Amino acid sequence: NGGVGGDHVLADAQDGSGTNNANFATPPDGSDPRMQMFLWNTASPAIDGDLDNGIIAHEYAHGVSNRLVGGPSNTSCLSNAEQMGEGWSDFFSLVMTMAPGDQGTDARGIGTFALAEPVTGPGIRPAPYSTDFGVNNFTYANTNGGVSQPHGIGFVWCTMLWEMTWELIAVHGFDPDLYQGTGGNNIAMQLVIDGLKLTPCNPGFVDGRDAILQADQILYGGANQDLIWAAFARRGLGASADQGSSGSRSDQTEAFDLPVDDNVGVAEAVHPLPGALFECGNGGVV
């Protein structure tokens, strides 16, 4: 709702200007964004990236994050070194393709269909998304030159959002209704969307975390603060984590601590407790 009308997405299927990739150009509110989807030569015959729902959701989400962070008229807020645009897009790719019976410990790769991999394949990121540290053990420290930018940086951010999603599901359950649902997955989507609106231009990870915490205060009266903190702290973005300059990829400090007034009391956040707190590079970056 709101905003300037008449700016529908121009979607190009089987765009011939590239292969093994996809992109989304986001002009300011009122101008048409453009999504370009390419063929992938990872099999014979070539695979149509348009049939990978995860890639479609990922690319569309670039329009969402670029329009919301910094306001709809400023679409240049996600170009700094620590910006998390690729992570927000991966998050929407994952959460929009969840199904009943999924578990946080499952391995979820990005772009597996386009790569001709099984659903449990590694995809195009450094590791599949999973709350299982045996599958994905990445933490905030890895952003210090240990992963690529922007896709590797985004991968670490989405890893944290995925932890948060499954903590919310552990408490509120899963609801397959994406429109009227009240499950933890729905709450996670709402927190991320409203968090984007509260995220400053040229953000770092601490900015993004704090925006989600603020969104929870506004939307739910802070009911989910404990589990949000625990999810982020488990991946190194605890209370004393320091993002340094959001324009640098070499000055971040991770921490696994919780706020002193937090009332979690189940286990140290550094311990991998997947989903149980309260009980587009290399030829295909996307």
Catalytic residues: 59
CA 77 to CA 203: how far, in whole Å?
8
**For the chain, what percentages of helix, strand and coil (3-state, to nearest 5) are there?**
35, 10, 60
Which of 52, 177, 169, 22 shows the shortest CA–CA distance to 106? Answer: 169
3-class DSSP string for 42-54: CCCCCEEHHHCHH
The DSSP 8-state label assigned to residue 129 in this structure reads B
Distance of CA 157 to the CA centre of its chain: 6
User: Degrees (nearest 5) of the Cα angle 182, 188, 190?
Assistant: 75
Which of 98, 95, 210 shows the shortest CA–CA distance to 158? Answer: 95
